[in-house]
Amino acid sequence: MKMGFLGAGKMGEAMIAALIRAGAVRPGDVLASDVSPARRRHLAMKYRVRVGAENPLVARSARALFLAVKPQDLERVLAEIAPAMSRKRLVISIAAGRTTAWIEKRLPQARVIRVMPNLACAVGEGMSVCCLGRRAAPADARTVRRLLACFGRVLRLPERLFDAVTALSGSGPAFFAYVLDRMADAATREGIRRADALLLAEQTMLGAAKALLEGGADPLDFIRAVASPKGATAAGLAVLDASPIGDILGRAIRAAARRSKELARG
């Protein structure tokens, strides 16, 4: 299947790389477009895909078309490709805040699926959430889930939850990196070198997430299982429990969701 990518920036490249790596598409079947000559050269050299500057050409040739430009550039790009989209193509948008209805209005023939991925796609551990537009069929959902599974996990949720999804899994990698940085910093004050502290914190975060995902335990049961009474973990947890950290994390998620809603209104 010929796949098109409008916008070959960080996310466009991460998806192209993952899909080729997984064998879901051959490099010769990937068509991408980007305004940046440097990006075009980079993609063509690194992945041997066809990259140009013409969005309508990509839109016309691809059976599945990924919209991977910034949300503020999407209106212009859709106006440019609309005349080339006379057939009922599958359009997969990853643009934050742009609803399926907003895209369908601008591409009246397209079968639209909206996806909120995250940057961990680049390392095959992405979390993508998808929802279907009015014209998308169950077969389209299956196609998109199969493609998204090439770079991580996939969940289908109602579109009304997308601002919350953006806050949790879209912005989440930055929030976890923030916590990780502060924990590593604290460990340097206990005498560990920063590089070692970062490795310890990163691998521990990865391991805890993996144990929770694969073990299926509730996080609170997991905590009870690892914290022996009066032990070191319990002493640290007592500080966390006595702090407003739950409230602070709640406010961070709420702020990100609110901002996502504002961005959607343009």
- What is the binding site for ligand NAP (CB under 6 A)? 6-12, 33-36, 39, 55, 68-71, 73, 76-77, 94-96, 116-119, 170
* Residues in the chain, total: 266
Provide the minimum distance between the beta carbon of 127 and ligand NAP in the complex, in angstroms, as a whole number. 10
Separation of alpha carbons 247 and 149, rounded Å? 33
Provide the minimum distance between the beta carbon of 81 and ligand NAP in the complex, in angstroms, as a whole number. 9
In 111-193, where does DSSP find H-type helix? 138-148, 162-165, 172-189
Task: Report the residue number whose CB is nearest to ligand NAP.
Answer: 9
Q: 99-124: b or e for each residue (b if 16 or more CB lie within 10 Å)? A: bbebbbebbeebbbbbbbbbebbbee
Provide the minimum distance between the beta carbon of 2 and ligand NAP in the complex, in angstroms, as a whole number. 18
Q: Among residues 32 and 90, whose Cβ is nearest to ligand NAP?
A: 32
Provide the minimum distance between the beta carbon of 164 and ligand NAP in the complex, in angstroms, as a whole number. 14
Q: Among residues 137 and 174, whose Cβ is nearest to ligand NAP?
A: 174
Provide the minimum distance between the beta carbon of 88 and ligand NAP in the complex, in angstroms, as a whole number. 23
Percent composition of the chain: helix, strand, coil (DSSP 3-state, to 5): 60, 15, 25
Separation of alpha carbons 57 and 61, rounded Å? 6
Q: Among residues 102 and 197, whose Cβ is nearest to ligand NAP?
A: 102
Q: Among residues 173 and 217, whose Cβ is nearest to ligand NAP?
A: 173
Q: Among residues 141 and 263, whose Cβ is nearest to ligand NAP?
A: 263
Separation of alpha carbons 171 and 254, rounded Å? 12
Q: Among residues 40 and 197, whose Cβ is nearest to ligand NAP?
A: 40
Q: Among residues 94 and 136, whose Cβ is nearest to ligand NAP?
A: 94
Identify the H or E element spanning 130.
strand 126-132
Q: In what order do the strands lie in the sheet with 64-67?
A: 50-52, 30-33, 3-6, 64-67, 90-93, 111-116, 126-132, 152-156
Provide the minimum distance between the beta carbon of 10 and ligand NAP in the complex, in angstroms, as a whole number. 4
Provide the minimum distance between the beta carbon of 188 and ligand NAP in the complex, in angstroms, as a whole number. 28
In 3D space, the residue among 171, 170, 58 whose CA is nearest the CA of residue 115 turns out to be 170
Separation of alpha carbons 32 and 147, rounded Å? 17
In 3D space, the residue among 139, 141, 86 whose CA is nearest the CA of residue 110 turns out to be 86
